[in-house]
Amino acid sequence: MKDIDWKNLEFAYIKTDKRYVSNFRDGAWDAGCLTNDNMVAMSESAGVLQYAQTIFEGLKAYRTADDRIVTFRPDLNAERMAESARRLAMPVFPEERFVDAVLQVIRANAEYVPPYGTGATLYIRPCMFATGPVIGVKPAGEFQFRIFCTPVGPYFKGGAYVKGGVKPKSIRVTDYDRAAPHGTGHIKAGLNYAMSLYPVHEAHELGFAENLYLDAATRTYVEETGGANCIFVTRDGKVVTPKSASILPSITRRSLIVVAREYLGLTVEERPVTLDEVRDMTECGLCGTAAVLSPVGRIHNHGEDIMLPSGMDEMGPVCQKLYDTLTGIQYGLIEGPKGWVREVEA
Ligand code: PLP
Ligand code: COI
């Protein structure tokens, strides 16, 4: 195991030993290989530099209590990346090769998978970008697919590891839009994050951890935050999660829905959720690979503070159960549905 202060890791980049690279040229992906080189050289006119033709994914590897290394539903990241590629006119990296490459990268960097119980994980970042030159606005002809990884701590600042993850956060309803109807909100394109940088910088300056985006067409419905989907709990204990064609189909959210229904026996509704209704919710959590399930205590909306009854000190009871069960599955303590947990053999 590498000599790293695992308990104090931030959500930041640390160069690890190996990464996987495959290049697309003349209409085909090459064989691909692991490499030590973390630098990328390309034309000044590369499609990624000029027109942001780039997509990515995020997933994690976990060390279990009995010292195995596992990862969580990489097939869904492969599938989502294929969707992202199609929407940005990029070649699809074959889904089976994606999963195989993820496993190769984890295996090659096994010494960076944090010890069980530290709250840290190995974050895996598959990405694909246009390396071929363009000057007219059109898809490039050459691309690179790359997977690197970095050990990470909690996504939200001030998130020293405590039972249940991080302390509840304050977020704000923002007047900026994240995604247009029929736009790119449902895929993981770099451009969705570039446009969120200024709004999130502003949110941080004002003391909010994230922006809560509303639907761009009517500004009535809750969509998601810059880097996570939302989950709410109603007064009668139902789990409600916004449904919209312009939010990212979070793998964590889809997994939590199964956990809520099949492990906890809760009723789950996936439907449009108005900002108005949020005033009556008892719990709110932000879910994603990086965020896991991070509780929200306060939602600021133009001079009004919506204080969730679960408060600013700890996670609400339903979110806590969801969190414990999902992370229990991810860390191998609870048996997950078939195919969710993939062991990385040494
Ligand atoms: N929503 C956005 C905008 C994200 O960037 C992410 C992170 O991947 C998520 C939601 C959560 O998705 P997942 O659970 O698949 O990581
Ligand atoms: C993830 O959760 O994997 C993400 O990509 C979110 C990102 C904003 C770090």
Q: What mean pLDDT comes out for the span 16-22?
A: 98
Q: What is the pLDDT of residue 160?
A: 45
* CA 229–ligand 1 middle distance (angstroms): 6
**Ligand positioned closest to the Cα atom of 257:** 1
Is the CB of 229 within 6 Å of ligand 1?
Answer: yes
pLDDT in tens, 290-332: 999 999 999 999 999 999 999 999 999 999 999 999 999 999 9
Asked if residue 252 has its Cβ within 6 Å of ligand 1, the reply is: yes
Q: What is the pLDDT of residue 346?
A: 79
Question: Each residue of 60-74: pLDDT tens digit?
Answer: 999 999 999 999 999
- Distant-in-sequence, close-in-space partners of 163: CB < 8 Å, separation ≥ 6: none
Whether 163 has a pLDDT exceeding 60, the answer reads no
Measure 272 CA to ligand 2 centroid, in angstroms.
Answer: 23
Atom number in ligand 2 closest to CA 252: 2
Distance (Å) from CA 198 to ligand 1 centroid:
19
pLDDT digits (tens, 9 = 90+) for 200-226: 999 999 999 999 999 999 999 999 999
Q: How far is the CA of 241 from the centre of ligand 2 (A)?
A: 18
Regarding the beta carbon of 288 and ligand 2, being less than 6 Å apart is answered yes
Nearest protein Cα to ligand 2, atom 6: 227
Q: Which ligand is nearest to the CA of 56?
A: 2
Nearest CA, atom 9, ligand 2: 290
pLDDT in tens, 23-36: 999 999 999 999 99
Ligand 2 close to Cβ of residue 190 (< 6 A) = no
pLDDT of res. 166 = 75
Ligand 1 centroid to Cα of residue 199, in Å, is: 17
Is 332 near ligand 1, meaning CB less than 6 Å away? no
What is the SS3 string spanning the chain? CCCCCHHHCCCCCCCCCCEEEEEEECCEECCCEEECCCCCCCCCCEHHHHHCCEEECCEEEEECCCCCEEEECHHHHHHHHHHHHHHCCCCCCCHHHHHHHHHHHHHHCHHHCCCCCCCCEEEEEEEEEECCECCCCCCCCCEEEEEEEEEECCCCCCCCCECCECCCEEEEECCCCCCCCCCCCCCCEHHHHHCCHHHHHHHHHCCCCEEEEECCCCCCEEEEECCCEEEEECCCCCEEEECCCCCCCCHHHHHHHHHHHHHCCCCEEEECCEHHHHCCCCEEEEEECCCEEEEEEEEEECCEEEECCCCCCCCCHHHHHHHHHHHHHHCCCCCCCCCCEEECCC
Ligand index nearest the alpha carbon of residue 186: 1
Ligand number nearest CA of 287 is 1
Q: What is the mean pLDDT of residues 184-208?
A: 97
Ligand 1 atom 5: residue of nearest CA: 227
Task: Verify whether ligand 2 is closer than 6 Å to residue 140 (CB atom).
Answer: no
Distance (Å) from CA 26 to ligand 1 centroid: 32
Q: Is 32 in the pocket of ligand 2 (CB under 6 A)?
A: no
pTM (whole model) above 0.95: yes
Q: Which residue out of 186, 248, 287 has the highest number of ligand 1 atoms within 8 Å of its CB and is therefore the one to mutate?
A: 248
Q: What separation in Å is there between the alpha carbon of 289 and the centre of ligand 1?
A: 6
**pLDDT of amino acid 165:** 60
Burial of residue 248 (CB within 10 Å: 0-12, 13-18, 19+) is buried
Residue range 175-184, pLDDT digits in tens: 999 999 999 9
